[in-house]
């Protein structure tokens, strides 16, 4: 569903007049904020298959740190692959990485370990590798990336829409104070039920997300 469709879905349930654009009036804009608040919370509730993505880039010789240009702080890494070497890379802590370079500061070869080093000036994640690449390697970060807030009327929601609609409806009902029949706690309960059902359906496609291993 688009941003505008989501807002109108909430407005109808509140028995309000539909709008032709999210910013048409103060109340529709408020509902738009509730949609984004709900979207953010629900995206963070589960590693949705619709949010799964791969970020690939090439290293350069002796290049130690790189920014993931298509990422931001909403990235959750599942695995990292050195495609050129056909190997899975392993995460190492900042302390481990610093010690490795103190012990062997000129180490170079096929990148085997990675570490996150904060963000750059535009909010993109910086990663550091060990050893330093001795040539061009294609590295791929697989994981889920939470989306930015919806802003244009035509922006599309990629996660299940019913939990988002009913969570926003619950927030709107709480702000309004009455909806003429259904109580605010009931709306929140409905939103949680829709979220639970959506997670169960998504988990069926990715059952490995429910397997916990001892480490």
Mean pLDDT by 10 residues, the chain (215 residues): 97 95 97 97 93 91 86 80 96 94 90 91 88 95 91 96 96 81 86 94 76 47
Would you list the domain boundaries of the chain?
3-44+149-207, 49-145
The pLDDT assigned to 138 comes to 96
The pLDDT assigned to 209 comes to 60
The pLDDT assigned to 207 comes to 67
Please measure the distance between the N-terminal and C-terminal CA atoms of the chain and give it in whole angstroms: 40
Structural contact between residues 56 and 106, judged by C-beta atoms closer than 8 angstroms: no
The pLDDT assigned to 81 comes to 96
Alpha-carbon dihedral sign for residues 67, 72, 73, 79: negative
CA-closest candidate to residue 64, choices 93, 105, 96: 105
The pLDDT assigned to 182 comes to 77
Inter-CA distances, 16 with 37, 63, 213, Å: 20, 57, 49
Alpha-carbon dihedral sign for residues 125, 126, 131, 135: positive
> In 14-150, where does DSSP find H-type helix?
26-43, 94-103
Structural contact between residues 131 and 108, judged by C-beta atoms closer than 8 angstroms: yes
Residue 161 to residue 166: CA distance in whole angstroms: 9
The pLDDT assigned to 35 comes to 98
The pLDDT assigned to 180 comes to 63
Q: What is the pTM of this model?
A: 0.82
Residue 47 to residue 49: CA distance in whole angstroms: 6
Residue 166 to residue 112: CA distance in whole angstroms: 45
């Amino acid at each position: 569903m688009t941003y505008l469709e989501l807002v109108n879905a909430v407005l109808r349930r509140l028995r309000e007049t539909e709008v032709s654009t999210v910013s048409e009036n103060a109340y529709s804009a408020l509902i738009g904020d509730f949609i984004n608040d709900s979207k953010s919370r629900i995206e963070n509730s589960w590693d949705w298959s619709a949010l799964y993505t791969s970020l690939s880039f090439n290293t350069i010789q002796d290049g130690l740190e790189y920014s993931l240009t298509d990422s931001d702080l909403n990235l959750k890494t599942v695995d990292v692959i050195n495609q050129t070497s056909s190997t899975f890379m392993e995460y190492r802590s900042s302390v481990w990485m610093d010690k490795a370079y103190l012990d062997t500061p000129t180490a170079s070869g096929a990148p085997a370990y990675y570490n996150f080093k904060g963000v750059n000036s535009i909010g993109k994640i910086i990663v550091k590798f060990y050893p330093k690449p001795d040539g061009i390697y294609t590295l791929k970060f697989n994981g889920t990336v939470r989306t930015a807030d919806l802003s244009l009327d035509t922006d599309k929601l990629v996660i299940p829409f019913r939990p988002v609609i009913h969570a926003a409806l619950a927030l709107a009902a709480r702000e309004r104070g009455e909806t003429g029949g259904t109580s605010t706690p009931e709306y929140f309960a409905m939103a949680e039920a829709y979220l639970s059902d959506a997670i169960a359906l998504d988990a069926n496609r990715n059952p490995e997300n429910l397997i916990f291993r001892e480490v």
